[in-house]
Amino acid sequence: MKTLLKIVGAFVACVIVLLAVLRVTGFEPKDCPGNVPPTSWTCRTPGLWLNGDVVTTPVTDWSFTDAIPTIKVQTRDRLMLPHSINTFCVAHNGELYLTSVYQPGTPAYPKGRHWNQNVARDPHVRLKIADKLYDVMLVYVTDPEVRDAVIKKKALKYPKQVIAPRSYINLFHVVPSDGK
């Protein structure tokens, strides 16, 4: 029994040290160049914590993101571990929206991508835009007029992204965090 406790204790200690190292290094997803869909597996591979300077003042106009092709989103998985990814963003009427495109035949929200599942479970996320971090919430958008307007604006921002007919686009509205 003592041997088992030593083995379990050593394993737990190793996991704690590993998480501490990853917390310091961040292990962010790699940056994706340009404004085209990521093709390299290195920029599609999720990461853990995002590092940067936390912005505590509310953002009233997100249109500065028009010049930024991709941003990073950090969610929390079922075990409360961070899960961060690269994604596209669109500013519309000063508000910020994130999209997640599902090709025909793939499961859509809340099934499918891990980050979408995590947002469905806990909408509190951290965004990394340039070197700044924003603690916000994501709200799933169902209003057809807003969806159409943002998707049209996305097509203008990302003209090289080809979305197959009958694809489903998840649309998330970025809103201030409620402090959790």
Within a domain: 20: no
Within a domain: 9: no
Could you tell me the CA-to-CA distances from 9 to 3, 13, 105, 153, 169 in Å, in that order?
Answer: 10, 6, 45, 53, 45
CA gap 68, 34 in Å, rounded: 9
pLDDT of the chain, 180 residues: tens digit per residue: 788 777 877 887 777 776 665 555 557 776 666 545 555 555 667 778 888 999 999 999 999 999 998 899 999 988 888 989 888 999 999 999 999 888 777 766 556 678 888 999 999 999 999 999 999 999 999 999 999 999 999 989 988 888 888 888 889 999 998 765
Q: What are the tokens at 14? A: 């190793």
Range of the domain at 61: 29-176
What total number of domains does the chain contain?
1
Regarding pTM above 0.75, the answer is yes
Within a domain: 130: yes
**CATH number where 137 lies:** 2.30.110.10
Counting every residue written for the chain, the total comes to 180
Within a domain: 95: yes
* 176 Cβ neighbours under 8 A, 6+ residues apart: 58, 136, 137
Within a domain: 48: yes
